[in-house]
A and B are shown apart, each in its own frame.
Chain A
Amino acid sequence: MTSPSVVPAPAEAPNALFEFLLRLGDDRLVLGSRLSEWCGHGPILEEDIALSNVSLDLLGQATMFLRLAGEVEGKGRDEDALAYWREVVDFRNCLLVELPKGDFGFTVVRQFLFDVHSVVLMDALSRSSNAEIAAIAAKSLKEVKYHVRHSGDWMLKLGDGTHESHRRAQKAVDDLWRFTPELFAADDIDRAMLAAGVAPDLSALKDQWLSLVRDVCERATLTTPHALPQPSVIRGGRTGAHTEHLGHMLAEFQIVARSHPGATW
């Protein structure tokens, strides 16, 4: 008898490309959902619309990545099946995007950290050896370049704004920093994608990301820790070990589709 394992062995070897596409899709699906919680609650009407627009862009990107994931998996699941009928342990998003939306400062800082990551990632993926991923990335790159312009502008306004806005933005940077190494922690899936020319080297992405983030934070008079913490400190999203927050979000997100399966209007 083999010794008991905390994590049960997968029934079959995971399809690396499928897993990789789930990560891309789920990051955007979950953050788009989190952002949509601001709809009707934005600080002013114009920002309410801006946040909703970014949310819709992210949901559109998630749709494309998850649709492709379903095709790659080849089990007849489309993007809706993947979004609405998976359990929380089957989601592959990083922990950064599932944290509750917090105050406006937290939302802006989280968005900025993610947007910069999206820009460097989509730029690299637009040269992917996988033509479909390259096409989705090229389309997404246009959108995320605008997202980072918007969140970057807010970083400057909040960081270099009033005492209160600076305090809240700095607290968000301090709270969120430990969640960022997960974005660059390469595992077997990432190494397989790198070897196949599908995805870039994550450590090279990290250097680009750090320098862009530090530049804006400096101008926003916000201090960033000297280095990223060890990736082992906080991670798990890529293998389905999520915080308590994702389940609550998914419950609300999935209930209509699950209560009325196959409904049309």
Chain B
Amino acid sequence: MVEHEDAGQWPLWEVFTQSEQGAPHEHAGSLHASDAEQALQNARDVYARRGGVISLWVVPSVAITASTPGENGPFFDPGSDKAYRHPQFYKIPRGVRGV
């Protein structure tokens, strides 16, 4: 079992669930577990128990690198005022799903 620096706390894991074949895995929440197998089992019990899930991913939270909220302006804004960057001039063909 992995010893963690936070006394008494097991490592944190992020849980992703997929609802149907071809659909993206979406972030469902987080939980504590001492290793990957236990994280999968806990994710099954906490997030998949009531059905609607066909696949689960668990990822150690420490493996995720996140953007900094304080730098949201410089980081995200430059893209939002240039309409030509967005593919909004195309008509999506009929029958295309999942877009």
Of A13-21, A45-53, A221-229, A257-265, which binds chain B?
A45-53
Residues of chain A lying within 8 A (CB to CB) of residue B34: 157
B32 within 8 A of A: yes
Query: What 1/0 flags go to A124-158 for Cβ under 8 Å of B?
Result: 00000000000000000000001001100100010
A44 within 8 A of B: yes
CB pair A44 B32 closer than 8 Å: yes
B41 within 8 A of A: yes
A236 within 8 A of B: no
Cα distance A146–B1 when bound, in Å? 21
Residues of chain B lying within 8 A (CB to CB) of residue A162: 1
B61 within 8 A of A: no
Residues of chain A lying within 8 A (CB to CB) of residue B32: 44-46
Name the contact of B42 in the complex, choosing from A50, A146, A157, A161 (C-beta under 8 A).
A50
Q: How large is the interface on B (under 10, 10 to 19, 20 to 34, 35 or more residues)?
A: 10 to 19
A46-B33, A46-B46 are contacts. A153–B38 as well, Cβ < 8 Å?
yes
Cα distance A49–B41 when bound, in Å? 11
Cα distance A174–B41 when bound, in Å? 28
Number of A-B pairs whose CB atoms are under 8 Å? 30
A53-B49, A149-B41 are contacts. A46–B31 as well, Cβ < 8 Å?
yes
Query: What 1/0 flags go to B32-68 for Cβ under 8 Å of A?
Result: 1110011001101110010000000000000000000
Secondary structure at chain A's binding surface: helix, strand, loop or mixed?
helix
A46-B42, A49-B45, A50-B45 are contacts. A153–B33 as well, Cβ < 8 Å?
no
Residues of chain B lying within 8 A (CB to CB) of residue A149: 41
Query: What 1/0 flags go to A162-174 for Cβ under 8 Å of B?
Result: 1000000000000
Residue of B nearest to A162 (CB): B1
Residues of chain A lying within 8 A (CB to CB) of residue B45: 46, 49-50, 53
Residue of B nearest to A161 (CB): B1
Min distance, Cβ A55 to any Cβ of chain B, angstroms = 12
A149-B41, A153-B37, A153-B38 are contacts. A49–B1 as well, Cβ < 8 Å?
no
- 10 A-B pairs besides A44-B10, A46-B33 with CB distance below 8 A are A46-B32, A49-B46, A50-B41, A50-B45, A53-B49, A146-B44, A153-B37, A157-B34, A157-B38, A162-B1
Between A and B, 21 residue pairs with Cβ closer than 8 Å are A44-B10, A45-B32, A46-B33, A46-B42, A46-B45, A49-B42, A49-B45, A49-B46, A49-B49, A50-B41, A50-B42, A53-B45, A53-B49, A149-B41, A150-B41, A153-B38, A153-B41, A157-B1, A157-B34, A157-B38, A161-B1
Q: Which residues of A contact B (CB under 8 A)?
A: 44-47, 49-50, 53, 146, 149-150, 153, 157, 161-162
Q: Which residues of B contact A (CB under 8 A)?
A: 1, 10, 31-34, 37-38, 41-42, 44-46, 49
